[in-house]
Amino acid sequence: MKDIAEIRSDFPILARKVYDKPLVYLDNGATTQKPQCVIDALTSVYTTYNANIHRGVHYLSDKSSEAYENSRERVRSFINAGKKEEVIFTSGTTGSINGIAFSFGERYINPGDEMIISHLEHHANIVPWQMMCERKGAVLRVIPINDNGEIILEEYYKLLTSKTRIVSVAQASNALGTIVPVREIIDAAHAMNIPVLIDGAQSVQHGITDIQTMNCDFYVFSGHKIYGPTGIGVLYGKEKWLSELPPFQGGGDMVDKVTFEKTTYNELPFKFEAGTMNYTAAIGMCAALNYVLDIGLENIAAREQELLSYANKRLSGINGLTIYGNSDRKISTISFLLKGIHPYDTGMILDKLGIAVRTGTHCAQPVMDRYGIDGTVRASICFYNTKEEIDALTSGIEMVMSMFS
Ligand code: PLP
């Protein structure tokens, strides 16, 4: 693995100062910083071959279409999907889940049907399903979590019935960091012929993803959380589902033949890609995936787990600090509260020290309700962070505590 100095020099923003202090960026769960190769890939599109994809016969259009389709192939091999046609580009995780919730609802959901999510979900994996349930007269069921922030599998098994049509869960919680036992969840659903969507927004960047081993029916993630650009995401779906589902958007490129009487749709994956796609961002995401592959997903996972246990040790030594989410299996995210201090105050003071953390409900209000709290402070660590930065966070927290004592 590259050494840490070399890794950090790949990310130009990490060298900047904030309020004249070195930036300590610990908000990677919200979005990650971009390596120079991603920035270069975007510049290269705009400076050398920008043209709309799949539309023209001219040289530039050919070049950009080829780069876009190469990005699709890169995503396919990155997640080990069986076929390139099973990889749909979207605007992000939110776009992917909304799309499936709409299409699946239209095709398969009837009044009285049920679908299952968990109490750990990000709003992006709650609200689209709620909207679907409202539209179709279906019922949303929620798998409860225990005090450690882990899904209670026995309760999940009880929720699976002949009325269940789909299950949709995150592979890792953005609010608590819990890694969810998706294999057990998928196997139990499949035993009853129920498909499963896995929200990989907080997991795909932390280790190897093998769709075929996981055997989920749908898998979604966002480019910007895996060191790629904003505005691009992935919706993987098994061919047997995607070929049956109706498109969730209509427009250019997703059609075969259009007349005023009837329109027939394009083949996969184009059926689900209406209008001008964010091909620039897809090409940028390809560079990001190449970058993490070059570092090695196993190396990334090992380094992040080491940083997580270091951070756990440092933070749990602080009197008055409570960590929310204490599963044995976590991504490198720590959510915490300081006794008697509002998370916004903690976040604002840390900010003045150059330390970027996230405060609030993390788009997971039901998780906060579960613990009876308004929000937390969240440090989300990734492989370009250092133990020195965790020390800076620890001293910053100690300063906050002393200011309020
Ligand atoms: N799902 C999870 C678990 C997330 O953490 C997030 C974003 O934080 C999302 C979905 C939504 O991702 P995006 O805003 O990139 O669509």
**pTM reported for the whole predicted model:** 0.98
pLDDT of residue 56: 78
Q: For atom 4 of ligand 1, which residue has the closest CA?
A: 201
Which of the listed residues 363, 380, 382 should we mutate to test ligand 1's pocket, taking the one with most ligand atoms within 8 A of CB?
363
Claim to verify: residue 248 and residue 351 sit in the same structural domain: no
- Phi, psi torsion values for 285, nearest 5 degrees: -65, -35
pLDDT of residue 347: 98
CA-363 nearest atom, ligand 1: 8
Q: Count of domains in the chain?
A: 2
**45 C-alpha to center of ligand 1: Å?**
27
Claim to verify: residue 18 and residue 91 sit in the same structural domain: no
User: What is the gyration radius of the CA atoms in the chain, in angstroms?
Assistant: 22
**235 C-alpha to center of ligand 1: Å?**
13
CA-362 nearest atom, ligand 1: 8
**47 C-alpha to center of ligand 1: Å?**
31
Angle at 121 between CA 117 and CA 126, to 5 degrees: 65
pLDDT, tens digit, for every residue of 24-55? Answer: 999 999 999 999 999 999 999 999 999 999 97
Find tokens 């989920």 and name the residue.
216
CA distances 189 to 38, 117, 182, 204, Å, are 38, 12, 10, 22
Which of the listed residues 31, 93, 176, 220 should we mutate to test ligand 1's pocket, taking the one with most ligand atoms within 8 A of CB?
93
Claim to verify: residue 222 and residue 84 sit in the same structural domain: yes
CA-124 nearest atom, ligand 1: 10
* Burial (Cβ within 10 Å: 0-12, 13-18, ≥19) of residue 338: buried
pLDDT, tens digit, for every residue of 367-386? Answer: 999 999 999 999 999 999 99
**280 C-alpha to center of ligand 1: Å?**
21
Ligand 1 surroundings by CB, under 6 angstroms: 92-94, 122, 124-125, 170, 174, 199, 201-202, 222
Percent of the chain with pLDDT over 90: 99
Task: Enumerate residues 6+ apart whose C-beta is below 8 A from 141.
Answer: 114, 115, 116, 117, 159, 164
Claim to verify: residue 289 and residue 301 sit in the same structural domain: no
Claim to verify: residue 211 and residue 175 sit in the same structural domain: yes
Q: For atom 14 of ligand 1, which residue has the closest CA?
A: 94
Q: 343 lies in which domain range?
A: 4-30+296-404
Residues in the chain where the model's pLDDT stays below 50: none
pLDDT of residue 55: 78
Which of the listed residues 120, 171, 173, 174 should we mutate to test ligand 1's pocket, taking the one with most ligand atoms within 8 A of CB?
174
Claim to verify: residue 13 and residue 44 sit in the same structural domain: no
**57 C-alpha to center of ligand 1: Å?**
37
- What is the maximal distance between C-alpha atoms in the chain? 72
What residues are labeled active site? 363
| Residue that finishes a domain, picked among 293, 314, 343 | 293
Count of beta carbons in the 10 Å neighbourhood of residue 71: 26
Claim to verify: residue 246 and residue 314 sit in the same structural domain: no
| Residue that finishes a domain, picked among 262, 293, 324 | 293
Claim to verify: residue 232 and residue 352 sit in the same structural domain: no
Claim to verify: residue 130 and residue 142 sit in the same structural domain: yes
pLDDT, tens digit, for every residue of 107-137? Answer: 999 999 999 999 999 999 999 999 999 999 9
CATH number for 393: 3.90.1150.10
Q: How far is CA 149 from the centre of its chain?
A: 18
Q: Tell me 358's DSSP state.
A: E
Claim to verify: residue 240 and residue 110 sit in the same structural domain: yes
- Here the tokens at position 363 are 């788009």
Claim to verify: residue 263 and residue 315 sit in the same structural domain: no
Report the chain's mean pLDDT, rounded to a whole number.
97
CA-174 nearest atom, ligand 1: 5
CATH number for 119: 3.40.640.10
Claim to verify: residue 187 and residue 49 sit in the same structural domain: yes
- Phi, psi torsion values for 363, nearest 5 degrees: 55, 35
Q: For atom 8 of ligand 1, which residue has the closest CA?
A: 30
Coil, helix or strand at residue 281: helix
* Burial (Cβ within 10 Å: 0-12, 13-18, ≥19) of residue 235: buried
* Burial (Cβ within 10 Å: 0-12, 13-18, ≥19) of residue 217: buried
| Residue (of 285, 272, 268) closest to 231 by Cα position | 285
**171 C-alpha to center of ligand 1: Å?**
12
CA separation for the pair 214, 190 (Å, rounded): 12
CA-172 nearest atom, ligand 1: 3
Q: How far is CA 391 from the centre of its chain?
A: 27
